[in-house]
Structure 1
């Protein structure tokens, strides 16, 4: 069984730990297509937050409290940069984490594409899966926010500034700059086309999954794949487990609910992207409505409170995929 997963950062990475433990990666190879629209250049370094969160999490070196960055981190370089008055001061790179960005930037400057750089970085960590950037091209998510000092009263900021510095204020639009001209990274379309199961984990539908889907060719590949395509709701009881999906879903006209996100992705039988959708037990009442839009749906525990819960969720996801395949084969 070949499994392909579209992933953002923390939620996707935690799901992947459960998935890796739920299957035999040698018999059931996993390919992850990671979001790169959160990427940002800081202090002359290329930082890839979502790719690194997946890499550190699966490599066993993620900071368990923050959910991002390296465990046992120190911040001396950050403090020294601040002492020199170097901006931005609102985004800090830890000393151990900085080594990753130095290597990445050195390789990019030498002419290697991001996909080759990511493969080289992952070789250190023994992830038990293959991690592919969604594209080798530069794509950056920008968010339009209010700014009374701007001539038009609004300005566009990089997603990292929106989230880290501004703490997710009211947004008016979200734009993955460069996405329309980007090409899927090497192996991305093939991983979708050749998959037996394709999973959309509980990552942000707007700035994680949404930006991957914005790369031309990715959504079409999902519509055409013979895989069973199953999604896991990032919304439980009308709120995101973490992050700012509740601030950004209304910007694209989607209510903050499990059923609304399911409808946003849509059923492949009606030109959408999904065959099945998992919701939390708190949203079990939504199942009938989700099924009416053409999706197989189940209510299971979605909170990934630890490794066992993440593994159980992964198994539930694979079981729903298997049931969809069984119906298709009958």
Structure 2
């Protein structure tokens, strides 16, 4: 743990903290000499404590002017779970229900259902690292990899905002992979794709994605929010239908994922209950012990320094009030002695 100051020149004020060794804030005694009085250990300790408090108050104020801070650092933590990159589809079709229409009454859109179950998923996994990426026409880094639950929950809560029409899943996968850099010590690394459809990935981008997947070797899950009546990734083409990525994008995206050489599993959900079952299964599968380094940001210590100065000054102020009371008691007029008959 290391410390620093924002304004080093202000440390030139620190020698002023030695002033209480030569001067006292208390009033000098009007008595010419107290050498004849017996030694009072308690009074000596109080006097030393007041000088120390004065030095502490001056030194803390000078240090506060300099702007002290504690340097950022990394803390090694351990837990049971995974490093999970959430890749969430934000195309316009996610704003529709599983029946393929605009939500009405108490109906829930696919994006709202995904948000609800993903929030529960994040809450259940107390030790995981999460990163959140949204994609439609272009990918958006919503939240970098972190273990701060409040930030991750806020990122997940934003996934049901209105999206765009086009689905660029290739660039979304590339950004999700970038949240899982190669060489990490985390054993379980996951990309969880939540989407209600697929799009054609350019062959050149496919080659780059294959290379990146083999380098990082994450576990890949695809939670396919299937619209009722539409084709799924396991459906075979009709006899008169072309078996091409343009005609059957979900089927060919599934085939592409199977060709990556990583652990891959797809879940097909046609309603909120199926989404809940798929999330629960992923939660069960990805629970392994792992260690990770958490980066703690720099912390400003000016407030703590001023608190020390305030406490020390309060002690001096209390001593000053006590001194004033004793002075008044000593200067009170004496009653004249009564003469005896």
Please, what TM-score do these two structures have when normalized by structure 1? 0.36
Larger relative CO (CA 8 A, sep 6+): 1 or 2?
A: 2
- Larger CA Rg, structure 1 vs 2: 2
Normalised to the residue count of structure 2, the TM-score between the two structures is: 0.35
